[in-house]
Chains A and B, each alone.
Chain A
Amino acid sequence: MNIEKILLEHCATPSRREFLKTSGMLVVGVSAAAVVGPFVTGAGAQGGARGLYPDPDYHQLDSWIVIHEDNTATFYVGKTDCGQGTGTAFRQMMSDELDIAYDKTTCIMGTTDITVDQGGSGGSDAIQTDGWPMRRVAAEGRRVLLEMGSQRLGVPVAGLAVSNAVITVKADPSKKVTYGELIGGKKFNVALTGANIDATTGVAKVKPVQELKMVGQSPQRYDIPPKVDGSLKWAVDVKLPGMVHARNVKPPVAGAKLVSIDESSVRNLPGFVKVVSKGNYVAVVFEREEQAIAGARQLKANWQKPADAPFPKSADLFTYMRGATPTSKPAPAIIGNPDAAFAGAAKVVEAEYEVPFQGHTAISPANATADPSNGQLTIYSNDMKSYGMRNGVAQFLGMPREQVRVIWMEGPQGYGRTAADDAGFEAAYIATELGRPVRMQWMRSEEQAWDTKGPAFVVKIRGALDGQGNLVGFDYNARSCDYNHLGYNEPDTVLIAQLMGKRRAMPAAGNSAFPNEMYAIPHRRTALEVVGLPLIWETPLRTGNLRDPNGPQSTFASESFIDEMAAAAKADPIEFRMRMLTASNTDDNGFRRARSIAVLKAAAEKYGWQPRPAPNARRTGDVLTGRGVSYAYRNQTIVAEIAEVEVNRKTGRVWVKRLVCAHDCGLVINPEGLRRTIEGGMLHSISRALYEEVAFDTEKVLSVDWASHPTLTHLDAPAQIDVVLVNGDPNPNRPDLPHYGAGETSCKPMIAAVANAIFDATGVRMRRVPFRKERVLAALNTANA
Chain B
Amino acid sequence: MSSITLRVNGRAHTVDVEPATPLLYILRNDLGLQGPRFGCGLGQCGACTVIVNGAAVRSCITPTSTVKGEVTTLEGLSQNGRLHPLQQAWIDEQVPQCGFCQNGQIMTAKAMLDKNPHPTDEQIRQGMAGALCRCMTYYRIQAAIKRAAGRNV
Contacts and interface: CB of A to CB of B under 8 A. Distances in A.
Given A676-B140, A711-B134, A228 B96 contact: yes
B96 A224 contact: yes
Interface string B74-104: 1101100001000100110011111111110
B75 A83 contact: no
| Contact-residue size bin, chain A (C-beta under 8 Å from the other chain) | 35 or more
Nearest to B142: A717
Given A444-B39, A706-B45, A717 B139 contact: yes
A397 B21 CA distance: 35
Interface string A742-768: 000000000000000000000000000
Contacts of B29: 239, 288-289
A624 B41 CA distance: 39
Contacts of B133: 363
A363 B45 contact: yes
Interface string A68-97: 000000000000001110000000000000
B38 A236 contact: yes
B44 A706 contact: yes
A683 interface: yes
Question: Chain B's interface: helix, strand, loop or mixed, by majority?
Answer: loop
A680 B136 contact: yes
Given A83-B135, A289-B29, A364-B38, A714 B98 contact: no
Interface stretch (A162-170, A411-419, A730-738): A411-419
Nearest to B26: A290
A677 B135 CA distance: 9
Most-contacted residue by chain A among B37, B124, B138 (CB, 10 A): B138
Interface residues of B, number: 59
A361 B100 CA distance: 13
A705 B40 contact: yes
Interface string A498-542: 000000000000000000000000000000000000000000000
A489 B1 CA distance: 41
B38 A721 contact: no
B78 to A, nearest CB: 6
A229 B75 contact: yes
Interface in B39-53: 39-42, 44-45, 47
B59 interface: no
B148 to A, nearest CB: 12
Interface of A: 82-84, 220-221, 223-225, 227-234, 236-237, 239, 270, 288-290, 293, 361-365, 410-414, 441, 443-444, 672-673, 676-677, 679-680, 683-684, 686-687, 705-707, 711-719, 721
Given A363-B98, A718-B139, 14 more contacts: A83-B135, A224-B94, A224-B96, A229-B74, A229-B77, A229-B87, A230-B35, A236-B38, A410-B99, A411-B98, A413-B134, A441-B38, A711-B132, A712-B136
16 contacts: A228-B102, A228-B106, A234-B100, A236-B37, A293-B41, A361-B134, A364-B37, A412-B100, A412-B101, A413-B97, A441-B38, A679-B137, A683-B138, A706-B40, A717-B125, A717-B142
